[in-house]
Amino acid sequence: MLLVVDAGNTNIVFAVHDGTAWRGTWRISTNDQRTADEYAMWLLALLERQGLDPSRVHRAIIGTVVPAALYHLRLLCRQWLEIEPLIANLSLDWGYPLRVDTPAEVGVDRRLNGLAAQVMFGGPLVVVDFGTATTFDVVDADGAYCGGAIAPGVNLSLEALHQAAARLPRISVGRPSAAIGKSTTVAMRSGLFWGYVGLVEGIVSRIALEMDTSLKVIATGGLAPLFSEGTELFAHVVPELTLEGLRLLAARNHESPASLASNACDAIQDSNT
């Protein structure tokens, strides 16, 4: 089985794939001070609860936008599962070119979304990821990653609004019953929900104009199902697209020279830490 670890700014997602289907998916809040032992106690208990034998996990891949979390996640794999994980970075074979000015600056989550979307649906397309940031990632007809746009995430905007305006309450994200709010809470919910629907539709429209083509629009992230209720823009809603990208990347680099060299380099860096 393959263990997939997607470490984002808000949550770390662990998932297990048996070669045919996902057998379990679990989330824990991101904390770069959490140790490998803490991860292990939590993960092993969840595997057991799901009826999965940890000894059957023979491969692992980690994708992270939180560098400080990587050390202990790698240690989890080495010490508790006795496997050397792949690390999703540019040294691996991604199977498509990055047509951007500075490839190293493109977040791994964005590259993974592009990989999974182009394999699953084919380009040209744009992936809208409702995460800590709301990101837009463009893949052209040839399958190349072409860049995109980054906006503040929904929850980040909500928290900023609450913090900056003393009399505005902290609210949950949800689809409002009306665009015109008759109370402060409903007015805030309307501004947030329909404001982000408008943001997404507007940016995708501009991207399509620049690409001079129609685009398949894929939504991902935990809030993707909610925001898909407010627009007919999305051709597909795949909340766990990043996990699928990690699975595809692991399959593409399984025991390849590039992946082995990458992990040997990582091991040397760890020994010098």
pLDDT digits (tens, 9 = 90+) for 93-149: 999 999 999 998 999 999 999 999 999 999 899 999 998 899 999 999 999 999 999
Residue 109 is assigned to a ligand binding site: yes
Residue 89 is assigned to a ligand binding site: no
Q: Out of 18, 32, 53, 109, which one is annotated catalytic?
A: 109
Confidence at 242, pLDDT banded by 50, 70, 90:
very high
Residue 129 is assigned to a ligand binding site: yes
The predicted model scores a pTM of 0.85
**Is position 137 annotated as part of the catalytic site?**
no
**Hey, what's the torsion of the CAs at 17, 49, 42, 84, to 10 degrees?**
-30
Residue 143 is assigned to a ligand binding site: no
Residue 19 is assigned to a ligand binding site: no
Residue 4 is assigned to a ligand binding site: no
Whether the CB-CB separation of 80 and 22 falls below 8 Å is answered with: no
Q: Each residue of 32-50: b (16+ CB within 10 Å) or e?
A: eebebeebbeebeebbeee
C-alpha 81: how far from chain center:
24
**Hey, what's the torsion of the CAs at 102, 234, 203, 114, to 10 degrees?**
0
User: What pLDDT is attached to residue 166?
Assistant: 65
Residue 8 is assigned to a ligand binding site: yes
Confidence at 164, pLDDT banded by 50, 70, 90:
confident
Residue 269 clears pLDDT 80, i.e. is over it = no
C-alpha 157: how far from chain center:
19
What domains does the chain contain, in order, with CATH numbers?
2-87 (3.30.420.40), 107-250 (3.30.420.40)
Residue 13 is assigned to a ligand binding site: yes
Residue 138 is assigned to a ligand binding site: no
Q: How many CA atoms lie within 13 A of 215 on its CB side?
A: 29
Could you read off the pLDDT of 6-27 as tens digits, one per residue? 998 889 999 999 999 999 999 9
Query: Among 23, 56, 58, 28, which Cα is nearest to 40's?
Result: 28
